[in-house]
Amino acid sequence: MDDHVDVAALELDVDGIAVANGVHSQTELARAGAAVVLPDLSDTTGLIGLLEGFASR
């Protein structure tokens, strides 16, 4: 997810990780309802941890 439109998946009760590397800010993506908002994908270890956390739900 990197766009406020992508966050519409929340209507389907799907958590998502938004990446603010596009035209929308972290604040905008958080307000749109993203479960997690990352500034970019540079922290690969952190991202893998987040994905593992989502998978274990």
Answer whether residue 19 is part of any domain.
yes
Instruction: Say how many domains are in the chain.
Output: 1
Give the residue among 54, 24, 51 at the shortest CA–CA distance from 39. Answer: 24
For residue 47, pLDDT over 90 is answered with yes
pLDDT surpassing 60 at residue 1: no
Q: Please state the pTM of the whole predicted model.
A: 0.72
Q: Is 1 inside a domain boundary?
A: no
User: What local confidence, expressed as pLDDT, does residue 11 receive?
Assistant: 72
Q: Which domain holds residue 45?
A: 6-55
Q: What confidence tens digit (pLDDT) does each residue in 6-45 have?
A: 656 667 777 778 899 888 899 988 888 888 999 999 999 9
Q: Is 38 helix (H, G, I), strand (E, B) or coil?
A: strand
Is there a domain that residue 14 lies in?
yes
User: How far is residue 4's CA from residue 24's CA, in Å, rounded to a whole number?
Assistant: 7
CA 21, chain centre distance (Å): 11
Beta pairing class for 36-38 and 17-19:
parallel
